[in-house]
Chain A
Amino acid sequence: EAGVTQFPSHSVIEKGQTVTLRCDPISGHDNLYWYRRVMGKEIKFLLHFVKESKQDESGMPNNRFLAERTGGTYSTLKVQPAELEDSGVYFCASSQVAGAIYEQYFGPGTRLTVT
Chain B
Amino acid sequence: AQSVTQPDIHITVSEGASLELRCNYSYGATPYLFWYVQSPGQGLQLLLKYFSGDTLVQGIKGFEAEFKRSQSSFNLRKPSVHWSDAAEYFCAVAANQAGTALIFGKGTTLSVSS
Contacts and interface: CB of A to CB of B under 8 A. Distances in A.
B105 A42 contact: yes
A49 B95 CA distance: 16
Interface in A30-68: 31, 33, 35, 40-45, 48, 55-56, 58-59
A77 B94 CA distance: 23
A104 interface: yes
**Chain B: interface size category:** 20 to 34
A33 B103 CA distance: 13
Contact of B98 (A45, A99, A108): A99
Nearest to B97: A101
B2 to A, nearest CB: 11
**Chain A: interface size category:** 20 to 34
B107 A99 contact: no
Interface string A101-113: 1111111110000
A100 interface: yes
Interface of A: 3-4, 31, 33, 35, 40-45, 48, 55-56, 58-59, 91, 93, 99-109
24 contacts: A35-B104, A40-B106, A42-B4, A42-B105, A42-B107, A43-B90, A43-B92, A43-B104, A45-B100, A45-B103, A55-B100, A58-B101, A91-B44, A99-B98, A99-B99, A101-B32, A101-B51, A101-B94, A101-B98, A102-B99, A103-B46, A103-B49, A104-B102, A106-B36
